[in-house]
Chain A
């Protein structure tokens, strides 16, 4: 591709972001300290912002949306980014989590105490995980586009199924939840979700997940039980999407089946690919940037949703791997894996990264 001026600017800009991250080694301890300080500041803001009056309601809402989007993003990234499959069913899992948790808090335990919040979120996650398991069993009979189609059908079935179930409100939606989702809770769940996905990725199990992306057959021959790994990873991803759905339901306090259509799935996909697949930091950035961008472009009115897809298409053309495709903040990477990254060096990891993406999703011909 010809290097257009726009592309050169983009490259220079992204290069500047990545260089400090990828200069592994001596500055790592300082980076880790900086990261922990930033995380601590964010935690302080989330826990004390509202009581001290630092954040107004609107800002708190934005932070909570960003947190929920981060959970959705890391969980989709687990399947689409690290495992190299293509699922578009996240809206469906979110819907299952949202409805299950709302039914629990509205119908089953209407007078629960302070413990109800986390219980509702876990219940949403478990319900979505069961749905994920049910859908994963037929899905993984084949690979490639068919998972996309099955998850697409699943999302549609959940949406129109909920529309036809009168006892959960049908097309009119479900209301009556109490506001159990607060900023400290969103922060806690988000950090937990990010940490969980990060730990999965760098565990033995995570290597198996990435082996499926790199070469499923070779993975199978090296002793990876690919079918089992796929089922578990997909279920974990559905669980996290369900927790995000439960948090969302108890934040907006009114859910309709139409709120969980494919547009919602598309939103999550956009965030994941904007940030870059196969990168935890990418998911966090993608979700945050997308949430902020949606708000910043609000003055454009109806033209906002014209500009946003256009930006997405331009991003895909000029930087198909997203902002941080398959790169990672070094201090998120455990030491033994980091040494490998350092030996290869930043350039090497770039080449490696690109080739893995095309292998994972490459042409079937």
Chain B
């Protein structure tokens, strides 16, 4: 029983990282109906930005985190401006291919600049406490609490502020929203920026938990986060969080009770089964595919 609880706690840690990345996928999909396949690589860029801030500039944890988020947000906005905006009226497939290209570009650019895996310096002292047989480390608490704050903040932003209303308006009807005075381009840029910043935060948390980072770390984690977004119902913010937590828990439990090489297999099989049973995800709403 304590073993199960311990694994669920580990699952919560991994799940919050997936959830933060899944939010970026789901926000962009909600607004542009576009799968931003480069998003997993922004997670990697965030981890590398943390590395630069912490080991080159020698900053402590909180400034490093903020710097990584801001730098990655700037890159996310830049990508949207240069690569995706010219294609907004083009066929959607062109945008998907472009996103795949941007992802490959980021991976290989970082790989060319830093060919070896990097070790992120220890930024937070790691204590652990034993509570009813379950070991909790301070890094786990940092990750889960900070991820929770970011998710709550985003939920408030989307559902309680005027900017959030503008995002929801564009997601609802991109043709009519500008007629109501919504500055579409600015809101889309902001969406990409927020999504990238959340992805960077996930990258920072991941680097805290697993300090060896390499340029291709975003590929698999990115696909997993994408699955989380789809499982939860792509386009739905609460769905992305739910999907991330479910996938994190499932993966850790599979690794704990079955051969650990099976975790990817189970994750993707779960996706396949869920899509057959509920094509729109757990919290997603069906959309007309062809208007």
Interface of A toward B, CB cutoff 8 Å: 1, 80, 86, 138, 141-146, 148-150, 152-154, 156-157, 159-161, 163-164, 171, 216-217, 262, 266, 269-270, 273, 277, 302-303, 305-306, 308-310, 312-313, 316-317, 320, 357-358, 360-365
Contact = CB atoms under 8 A, between A and B. Distances in A.
Nearest to B224: A156
Interface in B105-132: 105, 108-109, 111-112, 115
A156 B108 contact: no
Given A141-B276, A313-B101, A302 B111 contact: yes
B160 to A, nearest CB: 25
Contacts, number: 138
Contacts of A217: 290
B275 A153 contact: yes
B162 interface: no
A364 B111 CA distance: 36
Contacts of A149: 230, 271, 275
Interface of B: 33, 35, 83, 86-87, 90-98, 100-105, 108-109, 111-112, 115, 173-175, 219, 223, 227, 230, 234, 259, 261-262, 264-265, 268-269, 271-272, 275-276, 279, 287-291
Residue from A145, A270, A360 having most chain B Cβ neighbours under 10 A = A145
Residue from A305, A363, A364 having most chain B Cβ neighbours under 10 A = A363
A363 B289 contact: no
Nearest to B288: A364
Contacts of A269: 97, 100
A169 to B, nearest CB: 14
B159 to A, nearest CB: 21
Given A138-B275, A309-B105, A313-B105, A365 B91 contact: no
A155 B162 CA distance: 42
A148 B289 CA distance: 14
B262 A306 contact: no
B112 A303 contact: yes
Contact of A364 (B86, B262, B268, B290): B290
Residue from B91, B105, B261, B271 having most chain A Cβ neighbours under 10 A = B91
A364 B101 contact: no
A302 B115 contact: yes
Contacts of B104: 266, 305, 308-309, 312
Given A157-B272, A160-B268, A316-B90, 11 more contacts: A138-B276, A152-B223, A270-B100, A273-B93, A305-B104, A309-B103, A312-B98, A317-B86, A320-B91, A361-B91, A365-B175
B205 to A, nearest CB: 24
Residue from A141, A146, A306 having most chain B Cβ neighbours under 10 A = A306
A142 B289 contact: yes
A161 B115 CA distance: 30
Contacts of B175: 365
Contacts of A160: 261-262, 264-265, 268
A146 B92 contact: no
A146 B83 contact: no
A365 B87 contact: no
B90 A364 contact: no
B35 A150 contact: no
Contact of A362 (B83, B92, B279): B92
A125 to B, nearest CB: 23
B91 A358 contact: yes
Contact of A365 (B97, B174, B262): B174
A160 B268 CA distance: 9
Nearest to A80: B93
A270 to B, nearest CB: 7
Contacts of B272: 138, 150, 153-154, 157
A277 B91 CA distance: 12
A262 B223 contact: yes
Contacts of A159: 264
Nearest to A84: B93
A164 B259 contact: yes
A146 B279 contact: yes
A33 to B, nearest CB: 36
A63 to B, nearest CB: 26
- The 6 A-B pairs with the shortest beta carbon distances in the complex, nearest first, are A309-B104, A305-B108, A309-B105, A320-B94, A312-B101, A160-B264
Contact of B108 (A1, A154, A306, A364): A306
15 contacts: A143-B289, A156-B223, A163-B261, A164-B265, A266-B104, A305-B111, A308-B104, A309-B108, A310-B105, A316-B101, A317-B98, A320-B90, A320-B91, A358-B90, A365-B175
Contacts of A262: 219, 223
Nearest to B259: A164
Contacts of A360: 91
A317 B260 CA distance: 42
B2 to A, nearest CB: 29
Contacts of B90: 316, 320, 358
B100 A266 contact: yes
